[in-house]
Amino acid sequence: MVNLMTVLKFVYAAGLLMLLALAAPSSAHAQRIKDLTSVEGVRSNQLIGYGLVVGLDGTGDQTIQTPFSTQSLQSMLNQLGITLPTGLSLQLKNFAAVMITATLPPFARQGQQIDVTVSSIGNAKSLRNGTLLLTPLRGADSRIYAVAQGNLLVPGAGAAAAGSSVQINALNAGRIPAGATVEREVVTPVGQGDFVYLDANRADFTTATRITEAVNAVFGAGTATAVDGRQIRVRAPLDSTERVEFISRLESIVVQPGEAAPKVIINARTGSVVMTQMVRVTECAIAHGSLSVIVNREPQVSQPGPFSEGRTVRTEQAQVGVQQEKSQILLIPANANLSELVKALNAVGATPIDLLAILQAMKAAGALKADLEII
């Protein structure tokens, strides 16, 4: 006789597995608020600077074509107390003028080191083995926020001999890990007064509503309010220490975001087409064919007869032909998904270029239920 306790355990386990199976699809796409939003005011800042890279093995700027490189070098030498004779023309090939870019992260403190990218702006052949001299990095307000200096790390490689050359990757740009030191801090306020504002990565009223409901469920009613489809206002503690802990708990809340609108993105330059899974089409017919027009020109020479006092005349004879491949008409069923649409277009042999025209025509006819974006 089967033990009653064994039966109950089996029923409990089966029920638990069923609940997990039902809950899995709904939580599969759940994300943290941290992944869906950003705290207003917490942002990075771009820095830029102009400097010189030295130590190049004859691969630097050709100073005749880039006179600003020589001017920069002379200015730097003058600041170091070295006076050059008037009218002296420097013809050096072991230095190059470069632009330095970096990103100042939020909450960066004095003495913190950040990575920089160094790019040649002249005609230097390579920055490999170069050293960046001390360069101030400025923000959009023209104030200095960091200084950069160090040895470049150039991932490319190249060689040349007897008029032949081989190059792998770019040689006129490189990076300096931890190559800049922060000298000025940027004040990053986390919220204004009693509130912290969350900016959603994608404007969506459903997602904003669900975030508001999830925050209120954890911290109490009235804590969060959706301002619009992108911004959520959250009441937070005034004390800075408590506010940091509050935001940490806030970002860890899991929310089921709203479904993104179906979209088709087309790159007209490369012919690339990217479609989301939610793309649907209504019933329509697609005809695919190609028409080729061929024009050949054959030069001919008209030679006059002997003693006719004529002259030789060059003429051209054109041959025009039209070729048209057999068209195919394909019926797309109603409510077809992305996989069925791709299979149907592949069946008629549509190339990426053909796909651009087909999708635009389907959108114009109202058969494509998705936003069409051309970049």
| pLDDT of res. 253 | 93
Q: Tell me, what DSSP letter sits at residue 141?
A: T
Q: Report yes or no on 12 lying in a domain.
A: no
Are 267 and 342 in the same domain?
A: yes
Domain assignment of residue 13, yes or no: no
User: Which residue is it, tokens 């025209």?
Assistant: 357
- What percent of the chain has pLDDT above 90? 34
Residue 19 belongs to some domain of the structure: no
Q: Does 214 lie in the same domain as 109?
A: no
Same domain, residue pair 219 and 174:
no
* 112 against 334, higher pLDDT: 112
The boundaries of the domain holding residue 361 are: 263-300+313-374
19 pLDDT higher than 50: no
Asked whether residue 97 falls in the same domain as residue 173, the answer is: yes
Tell whether 25 is covered by a domain. no
Per-residue model confidence as pLDDT tens digits over 141-182: 999 999 999 999 988 665 555 555 555 667 889 999 999 999
Decide if 230 is inside a domain.
yes
211 and 294, same domain (yes or no): no
The pLDDT, as a whole number, for residue 73 is 82
Same domain, 247 and 329: no
Q: Is the dihedral of CA 119, 121, 125, 130 positive or negative?
A: negative
**Domain identity same for 334 and 243:** no
Q: Could you report the per-residue pLDDT of 324-362, keeping only the tens digit for each? A: 556 566 677 767 766 677 777 777 667 767 777 777 887
Query: Which residues have C-beta within 8 Å of that of residue 293, sequence separation ≥ 6?
Result: 320, 321, 322
Mean pLDDT, residues 221-247 taken together: 91
Examine the domain organization and report whether 232 and 284 are in the same domain: no
Does any domain span residue 237?
Answer: yes
Structural domain ending residue among the three candidates 223, 239, 255: 255
Q: What is the pLDDT of residue 271?
A: 67
Overall domain count for the chain? 3
Query: Residue 9 has what pLDDT?
Result: 46
178 and 63 inside one domain: yes
Is residue 305 situated within a structural domain? no
Q: Is 229's pLDDT higher than 80?
A: yes
| Residue 251 and residue 293 share a domain | no
Residue 142 domain flag: yes
Q: Rounded to whole angstroms, how far apart are CA atoms 321 and 292?
A: 8
Mean pLDDT of 122-147: 92
Q: Is the pLDDT confidence value at 18 over 90?
A: no
Residue 2, pLDDT > 50, answer no
Q: What percent of the chain has pLDDT over 70?
A: 72
- State the alpha helices, DSSP H only, in 33-94: 33-36, 67-79
pLDDT at position 8 over 50: no
Please check whether residues 318 and 270 belong to one and the same domain. yes
**Same domain assignment for residues 318 and 202:** no
